[in-house]
Amino acid sequence: MNIRDWLTNPRPGRGLRIATDDGWESYSYAALALAARRSATAMLAAGAKKGDVVCLLMPTGYPVLCAFFGAWAAGLTPCMITPPSFSSTAEYAELVSGIVDAARPALLVTDEKYAAALKQPTFVHREADEPIDVAEVAGDDLAILQFTSGSTGTPRGIPVTWTNLTVNIECSRAWCDWQDGDSGASWLPLHHDMGLIGTLLTIICGQGDLSLMRPAQFLRDPARWLECMTTAAVTAAPPFALEYAASRIPEGRIAGWDFRSWRTMFVGAQTVDPAVLDKFATTFAPAGFDPATLRPAYGMAETTLGVTGTAPGTRPLVVRIEPDTLRFGRPVKIDRQFHLGDEPVPARGGWLTGCGGPVLDTEIGLVDEDGAPLPDDYLGEIVVSGATVTAGFSRTGDAGFRHDGQLFVLGRMGDSLKVNGRAVYVEDLEAAVIEATGLPAARCVVVSAPETDRIGVALFVEGRPGGWETTARDLLRARLGPAARIRIIIGRPGLIKRTTSGKPRRRALWQQLQDEGTE
């Protein structure tokens, strides 16, 4: 499979439509391929050379697609940077500076709107008169450079080769049972792997028709996305979007829809709460929505996107575990299980969703604290290997277990968590708490502490209770959302476990919470 073939041989009669504020604009793949090759000419003329990284800071729309695929045509490595949204100006500027410093791009490609606001030298996107021939690339050349950090702090760059990316797109096509003539829709941000690879590239490289929206357009009117699925077959979304859509769309609008052609919705980017899946499936059942359309999946940036996914035509497996059996390296006791749709899923109570099994050559394992393999139904750290993994092998930092041939994921063990599909690193939360409260940096540690049905963090402080507790709790609530569980643990010096070099042992603190049920 050559995922760039369409740049020289686009399928006639296929293309994409991009949402505007009051309608849609349509483009053929032939037009996009030509515009991309003209963009490639302009970037090379501006000084970029084959193999260079080019950062793209532009909103979802036709120009950023021209620039991205123009980089592919020129043999450049595109790196998507999230456009400004709800972050403060200073915080966003720090994020962009961190990515640019780490990526060292030959060009920072943007549009006129953002160029004036950026401190770095920019190249305003344009197309040259003449298109270039598509450059040759090797399997171990870089196809994209993506960054895992969704907040401030030091961005973490993940180099993705053409081999990595091609295998991941093949995985996505296998998971959704892609068929010639299929179409899809997406509103997901293009700097995120689910939006870029799981939907945009999977559909465009398969030359399927695509309806593409900006995230803000989805938030204003989630029904606009779902209306696309009355004719499309494939889409993807994080769990928060399912809950948002189910609560915002009135019954009268749902009654006019028919979702029988909708075959696949990948659900991932954060822990998948089965109660959310149940609410979505129940809400849209009058429109013919099939619960088997929901495909919970597990992935991470280091694998470019996917690790596991639910098999086509299979309703998600739901299990309830006894919370006091969640001990790292110990067996997990499951006291009930069924497939989504067989009965209602309670909103609380230790329920988890299966994320399916590996696809193609990806291998999944579980290990204990010392790296020793664990059998099925034991809680451990998820490890991944195979052609999808950018470094060949990865200890994920996520806690989970295997059961009935599926992977069940609890979330990050101490150092990061996912909030609405965005990676949030505890070091960033820690720094914000210290700045807001005045607590000594050496006496304050934030640890990710996920639960079966929601995200959570624990703030360990060596000191005394005080008014800082309210300040810290309010700040963490603002960063993580109203549903997050926030625990504050106060104690004497020595409460915070550290390495011999003084670094906090977050995983050990996470384990302490699991073992002792610390409140």
**Burial class for 436, CB neighbours closer than 10 Å (0-12, 13-18, 19+):** middle
Judge if 274 and 384 occupy the same domain.
Answer: yes
CB neighbours of 234 closer than 8 A, spacing ≥ 6?
176, 178, 182, 183, 184, 185, 199, 202, 203, 208, 263, 264, 265
Whether residue 46 is contained in a domain is answered as yes
Q: Is 403 helix (H, G, I), strand (E, B) or coil?
A: strand
The ranges of the chain with pLDDT < 70 are 1, 85-88, 148-154, 300-306, 348-349, 360, 387-393, 412-418, 420-423, 425, 452-453, 499-502, 516-519
At 92 the pLDDT is 76
Judge if 326 and 396 occupy the same domain.
Answer: yes
**Burial class for 250, CB neighbours closer than 10 Å (0-12, 13-18, 19+):** exposed
Q: What span, in angstroms and rounded, lies between the C-alpha atoms of 234 and 244?
A: 19
Whether residue 151 is contained in a domain is answered as no
Q: What span, in angstroms and rounded, lies between the C-alpha atoms of 501 and 507?
A: 16
Q: How does pLDDT run across 237-251, given as a tens digit for each residue?
A: 988 889 899 999 998
Q: How does pLDDT run across 80-94, given as a tens digit for each residue?
A: 998 876 555 777 777
Edge-first strand order for the sheet with 444-448 is 444-448, 456-462, 485-491
At 150 the pLDDT is 45
Q: What is the CATH number of the domain that holds 168?
A: 3.40.50.12780
Judge if 208 and 228 occupy the same domain.
Answer: yes
At 269 the pLDDT is 72
Judge if 32 and 102 occupy the same domain.
Answer: yes
Judge if 407 and 427 occupy the same domain.
Answer: no
Whether residue 456 is contained in a domain is answered as yes
Judge if 492 and 389 occupy the same domain.
Answer: no
Judge if 360 and 505 occupy the same domain.
Answer: no
**Phi, psi at 87, each rounded to 5°:** -75, 155
Q: What is the CATH number of the domain that holds 46?
A: 3.40.50.980
Judge if 164 and 304 occupy the same domain.
Answer: yes
Give me the domain span that covers residue 112.
Answer: 1-146
Judge if 264 and 283 occupy the same domain.
Answer: yes
- CB-CB neighbours of 179 under 10 Å: 12
